[in-house]
Structure 1
């Protein structure tokens, strides 16, 4: 078989259409992933509204939910954790059985602590925290979501 048999007009059109479809698919997937990391998406669930409100008045409001709550070692791990926690959150949101105070699992706490150390590496560089294995959230657990109590607006009609 010769190369020119594969390079006729019909084949080139199909290849080009395939490339355009792949590019569009990647763009949609990337945009969806970026949207799913932001607070507007995360706080769309009733159980996360208070969490999002306390984050919004914190010193870390410039970061997305995914910046703190998802691993950043590689994209496969990030997507695995995102899908796992997303299914968990959707399940409990559907059942409406979230507790008033949402607590991190041991795995989620390890991810958050790792991200604290990733961003604050310079700050903790000369402390025992730099060696790893420490829990930032042990002392700073209320830093972002629990420090400021957000009162719900009461409407009188």
Structure 2
């Protein structure tokens, strides 16, 4: 009887448990990937507002919108995606609980946008740019990037992508410096 029980556990229970764990993880990843979740904190209000006004936030003829994680997580591979999601998520929870949120200089963060916007996310949706050839404007503009002749990230040339009018929507700098 014992070998039969072990066989049942190995053949049925373990795969069922693994499938249930995967479905739960997938559900949680999807539930925590879009603006509905990412903008629940009041500090994210300007980011939500400017995202909705941007072409990537659905302000386009098709109404198609990216998820926050499409741009703000690495898409090189599953491990990189999960690691970045866990690291950024833990940081954001820690910040909400411990930082003086009124003292954060959000405008200074704009200069560091390449630290939390990933080319692999851009290329997930815009992969066709790598295949453009000839004298087409998209090819000419992106040729040095795809040939590895420059080391700039996408947001270096596209600084306002994803959040139309963000600099103007952010609260005044807590440092007392003039707004850009």
Pairwise same-fold verdict (TM > 0.5): yes
Structure 1 residues 25 and 131: alpha-carbon distance in aligned structure 2, compared to 1, 3 A threshold: same
Q: Alpha-carbon deviations, 1:76-95, whole Å to 9, x = none?
A: 11111111111111111112
Aligned counterparts of 2:56 and 2:42: Cα–Cα separation in 1: 21
| Paired position in structure 2 for 1:154 | none
Number of residue equivalences: 144
Range with bigger deviation, 72-81 or 46-55: 46-55
| Paired position in structure 2 for 1:145 | 163
Structure 1 residues 143 and 74: alpha-carbon distance in aligned structure 2, compared to 1, 3 A threshold: closer
Matching residue within 66, 72, 85 for 2:88 = 85
Q: Alpha-carbon deviations, 1:69-108, whole Å to 9, x = none?
A: 1111111111111111111111111124342526246532
Matching residue within 37, 41, 45 for 1:45 = 41
The TM-score with structure 1 as length reference comes to 0.74
Shift in Å, 1:60 = 0.3
Q: Does 1:54 align with 2:62?
A: no
Range with bigger deviation, 76-85 or 114-123: 114-123
Range with bigger deviation, 91-100 or 37-46: 91-100
Aligned counterparts of 2:92 and 2:39: Cα–Cα separation in 1: 11
Aligned counterparts of 1:114 and 1:101: Cα–Cα separation in 2: 24
Aligned counterparts of 1:58 and 1:79: Cα–Cα separation in 2: 26
| Paired position in structure 1 for 2:121 | 115
Range with bigger deviation, 71-80 or 19-28: 19-28
Structure 1: segments with no counterpart, 5+ residues: 152-157
Shift in Å, 1:115 = 2.9
Aligned counterparts of 1:29 and 1:71: Cα–Cα separation in 2: 18
SS of the residue corresponding to residue 125 of structure 1 reads helix
| Paired position in structure 2 for 1:135 | 153
RMSD between superposed Cα atoms in Å: 2.7
The TM-score with structure 2 as length reference comes to 0.66
Structure 1 residues 54 and 105: alpha-carbon distance in aligned structure 2, compared to 1, 3 A threshold: closer
CA contact (8 A) 2:34 2:67 kept: yes
Aligned counterparts of 1:67 and 1:40: Cα–Cα separation in 2: 14
